[in-house]
């Protein structure tokens, strides 16, 4: 009689391995089928430019916080010096009061009537008593001065403590904005690293060429500046064409956008503030149709600024990796407003 043996069942471990292998194979084939194509050089460049603009916005906020920090630091130093001087004056007044109290104690150790009886020179005693009254009046005046000085010192200390608290808050803001623009720049660099060496070299060459030769190629027309000040600021900025963009830089050999406009107007003899967010509040707001060479033009939610150069063109420091150059307003970003200094 033939024997029938039951087929051996595969082990649970073997089934698990086979299942996992099959699942992984399906997943890999699915990923391969749906993998996104590698972005082109132009796509990477567009994303990088967007990140640079976002980094510039954070940079301008950083510049504003840095400017406020510097002002607060000076105010804190001044207040602390004032507190130290007031404390020294208070200590001097207290010392004088102590001397007066000692003199009064020594002179007033005996009852005045007894001192008069014992005195061999009554007239001299009366002179001394009169002097003692004067000491007492002077002591009262010293007490009043001490009380006034203590109140002033307390107010100065409260002001100093409030400024120190403001300074600590601004420093935190400074750190956050620094991390933000550093993060944006790092992300931009990661994107650039996805390109080939040749592609990155072509982008760099394009930026260098734009910075060096823009002044020779651009047609600015014959628009007349609204003032000698605007004309001189634009002339000064034009001498910086080809200088590299460096975040937080204010010249003379590298700039960020507001650093360039501040430097240009400083060379023309006028000090303007440090950031786009404060420069936009200076001077007179003008319509786009009223633009004249030397006016400040703001873009992208006021995070970018340049000097109008004529013929719908601005002179500006664009973003990291770029150079100071002339550029059409239509390619920079969304127009915001303009200001005439």
* CATH number of domain containing 309: 3.90.1720.10
Q: Is residue 247 part of a domain?
A: yes
The per-residue pLDDT for 117 is 43
Do residue 182 and residue 224 come from a single domain?
no
Residue spans of beta strands (DSSP E) within the chain: 284-286, 296-299, 304-310, 313-316, 325-328, 335-340
Predicted local distance difference test score (pLDDT) of residue 264? 98
Q: Which of 154, 175, 192 is the last residue of a domain?
A: 192
Report pLDDT digits (tens) over 70-123.
Answer: 888 888 888 888 888 878 877 887 777 666 566 555 555 544 544 444 455 555
Task: Decide if 150 is inside a domain.
Answer: yes
CB atoms within 10 A of CB 304: 26
pLDDT (mean) for 111-139:
54
Contacts of 154 (CB under 8 A, 6+ apart): none
- Residue 4 in any domain: the answer is no
The answer to the question of residue 323 being in a domain is yes
Most confident option among 42-56, 93-107, 208-222: 42-56
Q: Are 188 and 48 contained in the same domain? A: yes
On whether residue 18 sits in a domain, the answer given is no
Residue 250 has a pLDDT of 95
Q: Which of 239, 246, 220 is nearest to 328 (CA)?
A: 220
Tell me the C-alpha to C-alpha distance, in Å, between residue 272 and each of 165, 176, 243, 276, 303.
27, 25, 21, 10, 16
Task: Tell me, yes or no, whether 280 lies in a domain.
Answer: yes
* C-alpha atoms less than 13 angstroms from C-alpha of 26 in its C-beta half-sphere: 6
Asked if residue 169 and residue 71 are part of one domain, the reply reads yes
- 282 and 169 in a single domain? The answer is no
**Starting from the edge strand earliest in sequence, which strands make up the sheet with 284-286, in order?**
284-286, 335-340, 296-299, 304-310, 313-316, 325-328
Same domain, 45 and 168: yes
Q: Looking at the structure, tell me whether residues 64 and 158 fall in a common domain.
A: yes
Contact 223, 311 (CB under 8 A): yes
Domain count, the chain: 2
Q: pTM of the full predicted structure?
A: 0.58
Give residue for tokens 């972005």.
39
Residue of 302, 274, 276, 271 lying closest to 71 (CA atoms): 274
**pLDDT (tens digit, 9 = 90+) per residue, 276-301?**
999 999 999 999 999 999 999 999 88
Bridge partners of residue 255, in order along the sequence? 245, 250
In a 13 Å sphere around the CA of 56, the CA atoms on its Cβ side amount to 32
Which structural domain, as residue segments, surrounds residue 254? 219-340
Residue 64 lies in a domain: yes
Tell me, yes or no, whether 53 and 172 share the same domain: yes
């Amino acid at each position: 009689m033939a024997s029938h043996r039951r087929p051996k069942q595969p082990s649970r471990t073997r089934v698990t391995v086979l299942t996992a292998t099959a699942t992984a194979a399906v997943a890999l084939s699915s990923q391969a089928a749906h993998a996104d194509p590698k972005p082109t050089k132009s796509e990477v460049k567009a994303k990088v430019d967007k990140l640079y603009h976002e980094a510039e916005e954070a940079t301008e906020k950083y510049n504003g916080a840095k400017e406020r920090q510097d002002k607060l630091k000076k105010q804190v130093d001044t207040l602390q010096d004032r507190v130290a001087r007031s404390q020294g004056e208070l200590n001097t007044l207290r010392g004088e009061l102590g001397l007066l109290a000692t003199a009064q104690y020594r002179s007033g150790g005996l009852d005045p009537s007894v001192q008069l009886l014992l005195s061999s020179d009554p007239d001299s005693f009366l002179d001394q008593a009169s002097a003692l009254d004067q000491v007492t009046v002077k002591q009262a005046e010293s007490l009043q001065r001490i009380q006034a000085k203590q109140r002033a010192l307390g107010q100065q200390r409260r002001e100093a403590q409030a400024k120190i608290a403001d300074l600590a808050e601004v420093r935190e803001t400074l750190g956050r904005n620094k991390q933000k623009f550093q993060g944006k720049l790092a992300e931009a660099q990661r994107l650039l690293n996805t390109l080939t060496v040749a592609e990155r070299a072509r982008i760099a060459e394009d930026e260098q060429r734009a910075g060096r030769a823009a002044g020779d190629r651009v047609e600015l027309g014959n628009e007349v500046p609204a003032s000698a000040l605007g004309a001189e600021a634009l002339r000064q900025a034009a001498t910086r064409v080809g200088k590299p963009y460096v975040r937080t830089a204010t010249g003379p050999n590298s700039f960020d956008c507001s650093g360039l406009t501040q430097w240009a107007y400083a060379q023309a003899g006028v000090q303007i503030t440090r950031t786009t967010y404060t420069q936009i509040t200076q001077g007179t707001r003008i319509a786009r149709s009223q633009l004249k060479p030397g006016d400040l033009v703001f873009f992208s939610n006021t995070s970018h600024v340049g000097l109008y150069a004529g013929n719908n063109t601005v002179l500006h420091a664009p973003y990291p990796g770029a150079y100071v150059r002339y550029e059409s307003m239509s390619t920079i970003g969304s127009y915001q407003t303009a200001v005439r200094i």
